[in-house]
Chains A and B, each alone.
Chain A
Amino acid sequence: MRILETCSHTFLLLRTPEGSEITSLDGELVFSRKIFCRGAQNLGLGLGITSGPWRTLGPRPHQSPVLSGRRGAGSLGRGVFGFPLSFSSLSHFLFPPVPSRPLSPGPGDAPPAGSRPPSPGTRRRRIPAGPRSAKSEAQDGKLQKSSPLCPPPRLSRNSRPSALAPQLIHSPGAGVSQRVRPASTLASARAPPAPLRTRPGSRSPLPAGIPGPMALFAIFQKTFLLALLSWRTYQSEVLAEYLSLTPESLKVFTNSACQCLQLQWNVHGLPYHQELKMVFQMEISRIRPSNVIWVGNYSTTVKRDQVLHWSWESELPLECATHFVRIQSMVDDAKFPKLSIWSNWSSWEEVHVQDYPGPSTLLVFPKNKLVEEGSSITICYISGINHNNITCYLHNELIHGEQLDPKASAFKLNNVSFFKRSGTNFFCKVNQTDIQNGTTFFVSKVLEEPKNFSCETQDFETLKCTWYPGVDTGLDWNIQHSQSYTLFESFSGKKQSCKHKDSCDWKITQDSQEMYNFTLTAANNLRKRSVNIIFNLSHRVHPMAPHSVHFENRGATTVLMSWKVHVLGNYLTLQCQVELEGNGKVIQHRVDMKVNGEHLFGELVPDTQYVARVRCANAKHFWKWSEWTVENFTTPEAAPSEAPDVWRIVKSEKGSHIVSLFWKPLSKIHANGKILFYNVVVENLDKPSTSELYPIPASTRDANLTLDLCSYQIHITANNSVGTSPASVIVISGDSGKKTEEIEEEKINSTEDGFFMSWKPLSGDVVGYVVDWCEHRQDLFCNLQWKKLGPNTTSTLISSDTFRPGVRYNFRIHGISMKNIAYLLENKTGYFQELAPLDSPQVNITNLTSRSFAMTWKDYATESQPGFIQGYRVYLKARNRQCHPGFEKEVLSDDLIRCKFDIDDPRKKTFIMENLQPESSYEFFVTSYTGVGEGPNGTFTEVTTSDEPYHKLIRIILPMILFVSIIIVACYWKSEWVKEKCYPDIPDPYKSSILSLIKSKENPHLTIMNVKDCIPDAIEVINKPEGTKTQLLESRKPVRESPLIEPVYLYLQDEKKSSHPGSFICFENLTYNQSASDSGSCGHVPVPPEDSPRQLGLLTSPDNLLKTLEKNYMNSLGEIPAEETSLNYVSQLASPMTGDKDSLPTNPPVPAHCSEYKMQMAVPPMPCLPSP
């Protein structure tokens, strides 16, 4: 560049007659008018000429400046030093491939050569213009699209706001190409600032002089070229006036919302009324001009004095770095192929959006950025604070960025995903301070293409278009609303915004437009998605559902259905589908119609409800069926069409027939309406004139008749509101029911399908056979079932849903004669499924002996069991693990052994156990079994055999003999004791010692009895009251004669027993006290004397007592004459005594009833008393 500007004053000298270019003969090599002037003046220098972007080459040790060309291929010739040079090697050297690199290069990336300052030893290059690739567009900046997010651009610091014309943002389209230079990376931004001078006046160092031998060749070459140039310059003299097409008045505006640089410039020097296709090349640098981050071309047609606009979007927020922009242009018009040379670069325009913050400020950018899911976003902050003290977070996670310069850092987030409608928060904080700032960016879901887009009309007035919208891409904070939908019809050119997200109504105009070409466009802030359909209106008819459906009955089995459809134009024929559902069937018909449709349904079932449906569609161009219109109707009733199915049971009883009639309700298809009643007509065949009518209510299914032994014919009919059914006829003959008992019952087996049975045909003509059946033991009142069969049938399978397992069914097969008389042919019985017996027999034991016993179960009902009883099984618990002969040993799971015996005859209900051990226990259990298994397990019954007879006798007689013997011996040994106890001798009073004592006074030889010989606890007292004694002593009258003689009691306190008030010992003279004896009491009213206690106190001492006794006794004896002295007996009355011996009874003791015992003792005479 310096070279160019330096030699500008020599330009005319180098210009060819045609203009400023020198081309090769083949036209491929275009020589620029930019010539190294110094080289022109000094032929010792190489001459570098290029047609396109060119580079100035500094002196290199191995290479001289050479001519170079954009499309040159093959050998250009030899250099000034005679070294062969090829264009391929040269272009590779001069224009090394520019790799597509990400925005953030690795730290090891070196700044490109082009970013270095032009100085000796370095080289500058211009990036050749070429087609712009989409890939390169995505590398760093990209061309601005129109976006609602982009507010009016902001004029950069170096721009003039007044220059803002109405914004016309040119989309580069195919006319824009770009190339990202390696210097566009963030890493290059970190390169140390290097001044780049873009002003004219710079000079490029030239190579040193050329060696002498080459001078002649150089001079010749130079002369030739100069001559050629002069000729070309002369030819293009006129156009040279318009060659100065450098963009001028470049202004750069910024838009922070979209991070856009918006360029505005114009091109002077174009001829009036002349349009020229031009290519503009822009270079954008960041932080410093030399750090080119983006190069691109923009092609457009330019008019004279036209203001051009172009926009570029930066990935890095503009606030975080200063940007520089410059532009150059080139004519790219086929009409002027010779003008295709690049103009000079405009001067760099510096764009500085945000002033660097102070030392306590932290700013984060961009604000409210909207990106699409899967894309990348770069966030940056600028701050005057040391970056080491700043931490940044995405959500709540710490992330690390890349420092752009001492005041800015950037964070690139790749492949971002949707997080929330409220956005994603990114914030930074200065450590140990409250300084923090952040931003929220929004990730939109990718707008989906509308699916299932279709349009249709129901009335030729409105087209209803529907689609499936997909995900809602709306975001909070009014960043992005839900996607909008727009309908555009290309034929009419009309456009309509849709109110709903999934449908849109399009008004059909009356201009009879037939073809429609709709484009549905979904749009949000980031992109648009469109789908298109084209159709003929008549092919998209979706009729409305038919209406005014009516039914007209034409008899009980025919109905005429009619309906209408909404008018769709006279030319449109509809095809309608009619469905009739009823009676378990669906009938379908198709009817063509225009406005009114009808269809006649026949062969319907009377008194049946039907559901009729109708829908219609375009007959010629089917699109969609309309909705169904559904209506119900019911056919009218008709007379029953069949006779009721009737059967009977006849029982003979006391000279009459009891006939039970059963009939099945008519099926709906035969009833033809609601059955109101049945008529039973009984006709006596023996008396034809006699018949009786019995109306039976409809709810009744049977009737009983008692008939005499005549023959009767019975007619049964069913009646509804319309009429009467045909009659069922049954004949009861006079001998009906007699053969029932004579036919043997046969067992039959069943299958899964039922009971299969066969029979011998009835001799003679028959009209059919009837098989009836009942559950066992439900003869007359069972739920009789029957099946009527044809005359040629001799076997059938009886199947019924009512058959149940374990239930016994009795079947009877009748043959029906021509006279409608039924004859019983066979009896059969069987189980639909046999089960094991429900219970086991109750066994009675009989004939129990010492060697055998019998078991009987006569009452066991085999027919009530859920299977045929095949026999019985007798179980006997084994004794010593051995079984009786005939029994089968069976080992149980618990190692127990039982013996089993099977009785195969179910009629045998007695079993005799023999060969048993006497007086032994046997445990048995009897159960029954069917073909399925045996009855439930029960408890074993224990039976003990009796003993042998002589054993019984020995057991009885021997103990008896032994017992008797022992009794005899004992009696012998204890005869005296027995005598004393059992029959003691009554003492003879005359042999009493008392008597001897008395007599001893008269007879000194009498023996004196010592009182100590008496029993210590027996006190003998002879007592008399003083008065009595005195009286006795004085009067000497017998005691019995004195009225004062009464029983006298002596109260004695027992020493060992407590002093219970009522406890005492009384002594009573009864034996010979006649008066007392006569009273019959042992002292019932012996009122004790008042001083009894005192006397008791005296008598408590044995000595005192003895003394008293002795004294009184002696006194009395002394005063009684001998002849009058009789032997006194004392009766002793004892009563249990309790209490303290020291406590005297305070109440007079009451003698207990004399029931304890009486002891009679002889009172010893005086000498028995001890001497004081």
Chain B
Amino acid sequence: MRGCSGPYQQLLSQLQRQANLTEDTSSLLEPYIQHQDLNTPILRGSCTEHPGAFPSKDALRGLSKQSFLWTVNTTLGRVLKGLVTLQKQLLKPQDLEELETAKRNIQGIRNNIHCMSWLLNGSSETVEPMPTGPGPWLPLTSALGVFQAKLEGCRFLRGYHRFMGSVGWVFREWGESPSRSRRHSPRRALHKGVLKTRIFRRGKRPVPRGHLPW
């Protein structure tokens, strides 16, 4: 794969840094709150993540590496669409440049995830079947009214930041225990992730493929 010549550790380190960067709410959520005039204690209190909108940390930790990468990639793809939706609500997109920055960061993360997946599986491998979930949902404005749409956007971004924090956590776990491998079904992990339970199915450990560093 072109552009994926970096070593695994370097790629993993970069993904960790990218996750840490995007986890920071000051990179997007706070500017959004300021721009939409939601910076009041009551409205901040209402700006909570929709349960189930993004995979939980436990769900992510329970996934195999490939499934994890696929889940992150898919979720970020939906986030990208959500950011585009938010951007379209602005008369002048330059009023909230952080949206454009976030889009570029997400695209970078997805590129690295592709490379990581290629490193883990090899170029000839196909990604294993991915679980499908509700995914991040950003309702249309006309259905709710602008006020509720603002809050929904806020909740969406808060979930996004939390999700990236969970992603960073998992990447750090990869770095700390490189031989660790998830065993249970990705689909099941996602479904059970909301319940914050981890299920390991022994005997179904994914066979390491490609030129893994361990």
Q: Distance (Å) between the CB of B70 and the closest chain A CB?
A: 34
Q: Distance (Å) between the CB of B140 and the closest chain A CB?
A: 11
Q: A367-B146, A476-B91 are in contact. Are A425 and B42 (CB under 8 A)?
A: no
Q: Does A684 contact B (CB under 8 A)?
A: no
| Contacting pair B150 A421 (CB below 8 A) | no
Q: Does B180 contact A (CB under 8 A)?
A: no
> Which residue of the partner chain, among A368, A429, A474, contacts B146 with CB atoms under 8 Å?
A368
In chain B, what residue has the closest Cβ to A424? B37
| Contacting pair A421 B46 (CB below 8 A) | no
| Contacting pair A475 B91 (CB below 8 A) | yes
Q: Distance (Å) between the CB of B90 and the closest chain A CB?
A: 5
12 more CB-based (< 8 A) A-B contacts, given A440-B146, A475-B91, A478-B89: A367-B145, A368-B145, A395-B40, A422-B90, A422-B150, A424-B37, A429-B42, A437-B147, A438-B43, A439-B147, A474-B91, A476-B91
Determine the chain B residues whose CB is within 8 A of the CB of A809 once the complex forms. none
- Docked CA distance A298–B37 (Å): 43
- Docked CA distance A395–B42 (Å): 11
Q: Does B199 contact A (CB under 8 A)?
A: no
Taking Cβ atoms with an 8 Å cutoff, the residues of A that contact B are: 364, 367-368, 393, 395-396, 419-427, 429, 436-440, 442, 472, 474-479, 481-482
| List of 8 A-B pairs having minimum Cβ-Cβ separation, nearest first | A367-B145, A440-B146, A440-B147, A474-B91, A396-B40, A438-B147, A477-B146, A477-B89
Determine the chain B residues whose CB is within 8 A of the CB of A427 once the complex forms. 42-43, 147
> Which residue of the partner chain, among A419, A436, A439, A477, contacts B37 with CB atoms under 8 Å?
A419
In chain B, what residue has the closest Cβ to A368? B146
| Contacting pair B91 A393 (CB below 8 A) | no
- Docked CA distance A364–B42 (Å): 16
Q: Distance (Å) between the CB of A700 and the closest chain B CB?
A: 66
| Contacting pair B145 A423 (CB below 8 A) | no
Determine the chain A residues whose CB is within 8 A of the CB of B35 once the complex forms. 420, 422
Q: Distance (Å) between the CB of A419 and the closest chain B CB?
A: 7
Determine the chain B residues whose CB is within 8 A of the CB of A479 once the complex forms. 146
In chain A, what residue has the closest Cβ to B90? A476
Q: Does B194 contact A (CB under 8 A)?
A: no
Q: A393-B40, A436-B46, A477-B89 are in contact. Are A425 and B145 (CB under 8 A)?
A: no
| Contacting pair B92 A421 (CB below 8 A) | yes
Residues 140 to 160 of chain B near chain A (Cβ within 8 Å): 141, 145-147, 149-150
19 sampled A-B residue pairs with Cβ under 8 A: A367-B146, A367-B147, A395-B37, A395-B40, A396-B39, A419-B37, A420-B37, A422-B37, A423-B37, A424-B37, A425-B43, A427-B147, A437-B147, A438-B43, A439-B146, A442-B146, A474-B91, A475-B91, A476-B95
Residues 87 to 122 of chain B near chain A (Cβ within 8 Å): 88-92, 95
| Contacting pair B42 A393 (CB below 8 A) | yes
Q: Distance (Å) between the CB of A567 and the closest chain B CB?
A: 43
Q: Does B38 contact A (CB under 8 A)?
A: yes
Determine the chain A residues whose CB is within 8 A of the CB of B39 once the complex forms. 396
| Contacting pair A421 B95 (CB below 8 A) | yes
Residues 59 to 104 of chain B near chain A (Cβ within 8 Å): 88-92, 95
Q: Distance (Å) between the CB of B58 and the closest chain A CB?
A: 26
- Docked CA distance A479–B149 (Å): 13
Number of B residues, CB within 8 Å of A? 21
Per-residue CB contact flags for chain B residues 38-58 toward chain A (1 = under 8 Å, else 0) read 111011001000000000000
Q: Distance (Å) between the CB of B192 and the closest chain A CB?
A: 28
| Contacting pair A425 B147 (CB below 8 A) | yes
Q: Does B36 contact A (CB under 8 A)?
A: yes
Determine the chain A residues whose CB is within 8 A of the CB of B149 once the complex forms. 477
Per-residue CB contact flags for chain B residues 20-38 toward chain A (1 = under 8 Å, else 0) read 0000000000000001111
Q: Distance (Å) between the CB of B38 and the closest chain A CB?
A: 7
| Contacting pair B36 A422 (CB below 8 A) | yes
Residue among B42, B88, B91 having the largest count of chain A Cβ atoms under 10 Å: B91
Determine the chain A residues whose CB is within 8 A of the CB of B91 once the complex forms. 421, 472, 474-476, 481-482
Residue among A436, A438, A442, A475 having the largest count of chain B Cβ atoms under 10 Å: A438
Q: Distance (Å) between the CB of A668 and the closest chain B CB?
A: 55
Q: Distance (Å) between the CB of A397 and the closest chain B CB?
A: 9
Residue among B36, B88, B149 having the largest count of chain A Cβ atoms under 10 Å: B36
- Docked CA distance A438–B36 (Å): 13
Determine the chain A residues whose CB is within 8 A of the CB of B46 once the complex forms. 436
Q: Distance (Å) between the CB of B99 and the closest chain A CB?
A: 12
Q: Distance (Å) between the CB of A36 and the closest chain B CB?
A: 54
In chain A, what residue has the closest Cβ to B151? A438
Q: Distance (Å) between the CB of A582 and the closest chain B CB?
A: 48
Q: Distance (Å) between the CB of B96 and the closest chain A CB?
A: 9
Per-residue CB contact flags for chain B residues 115-146 toward chain A (1 = under 8 Å, else 0) read 00000000000000000000000000100011
- Docked CA distance A423–B149 (Å): 12
Q: Distance (Å) between the CB of A869 and the closest chain B CB?
A: 77
Residue among B39, B42, B147 having the largest count of chain A Cβ atoms under 10 Å: B147
- Docked CA distance A933–B119 (Å): 92
Determine the chain B residues whose CB is within 8 A of the CB of A422 once the complex forms. 35-37, 90, 95, 150
Determine the chain B residues whose CB is within 8 A of the CB of A477 once the complex forms. 89, 141, 146, 149
Determine the chain B residues whose CB is within 8 A of the CB of A367 once the complex forms. 145-147
- Docked CA distance A1044–B120 (Å): 118
| Contacting pair B145 A478 (CB below 8 A) | no
- Docked CA distance A421–B35 (Å): 9
- Docked CA distance A419–B35 (Å): 11
Determine the chain B residues whose CB is within 8 A of the CB of A420 once the complex forms. 35, 37
Q: Distance (Å) between the CB of B54 and the closest chain A CB?
A: 21
In chain A, what residue has the closest Cβ to B40? A396
- Docked CA distance A479–B147 (Å): 12
| Contacting pair A476 B89 (CB below 8 A) | yes
Q: Distance (Å) between the CB of B147 and the closest chain A CB?
A: 4
Determine the chain B residues whose CB is within 8 A of the CB of A423 once the complex forms. 37, 146
| Contacting pair A425 B150 (CB below 8 A) | yes
Q: Distance (Å) between the CB of A148 and the closest chain B CB?
A: 14
Determine the chain A residues whose CB is within 8 A of the CB of B141 once the complex forms. 477-478
Determine the chain A residues whose CB is within 8 A of the CB of B147 once the complex forms. 364, 367, 425-427, 437-440
Determine the chain B residues whose CB is within 8 A of the CB of A419 once the complex forms. 37
Q: Distance (Å) between the CB of A429 and the closest chain B CB?
A: 5
Determine the chain A residues whose CB is within 8 A of the CB of B40 once the complex forms. 393, 395-396
Determine the chain B residues whose CB is within 8 A of the CB of A436 once the complex forms. 42, 46
Determine the chain B residues whose CB is within 8 A of the CB of A421 once the complex forms. 90-92, 95
- Docked CA distance A348–B92 (Å): 48
| Contacting pair A440 B150 (CB below 8 A) | yes
Q: Distance (Å) between the CB of A427 and the closest chain B CB?
A: 7
- Docked CA distance A298–B141 (Å): 37
- Docked CA distance A442–B91 (Å): 13
Determine the chain A residues whose CB is within 8 A of the CB of B95 once the complex forms. 421-422, 476
| Contacting pair A439 B145 (CB below 8 A) | yes
Determine the chain B residues whose CB is within 8 A of the CB of A474 once the complex forms. 91-92
- Docked CA distance A497–B92 (Å): 21
In chain A, what residue has the closest Cβ to B46? A436
Determine the chain B residues whose CB is within 8 A of the CB of A395 once the complex forms. 37, 40
Determine the chain A residues whose CB is within 8 A of the CB of B150 once the complex forms. 422, 425, 440
Determine the chain A residues whose CB is within 8 A of the CB of B90 once the complex forms. 421-422, 476
In chain B, what residue has the closest Cβ to A422? B36
In chain B, what residue has the closest Cβ to A480? B91
Q: Distance (Å) between the CB of A445 and the closest chain B CB?
A: 12
| Contacting pair A425 B37 (CB below 8 A) | yes
Determine the chain A residues whose CB is within 8 A of the CB of B43 once the complex forms. 425, 427, 438
Determine the chain A residues whose CB is within 8 A of the CB of B42 once the complex forms. 393, 427, 429, 436
- Docked CA distance A367–B142 (Å): 10
Q: Distance (Å) between the CB of B134 and the closest chain A CB?
A: 23
Determine the chain A residues whose CB is within 8 A of the CB of B36 once the complex forms. 422, 425
Q: Distance (Å) between the CB of A385 and the closest chain B CB?
A: 16
In chain B, what residue has the closest Cβ to A475? B91
Determine the chain A residues whose CB is within 8 A of the CB of B89 once the complex forms. 476-478
- Docked CA distance A479–B142 (Å): 10
Determine the chain B residues whose CB is within 8 A of the CB of A442 once the complex forms. 146
Determine the chain A residues whose CB is within 8 A of the CB of B88 once the complex forms. 478
In chain A, what residue has the closest Cβ to B36? A422
In chain B, what residue has the closest Cβ to A395? B37
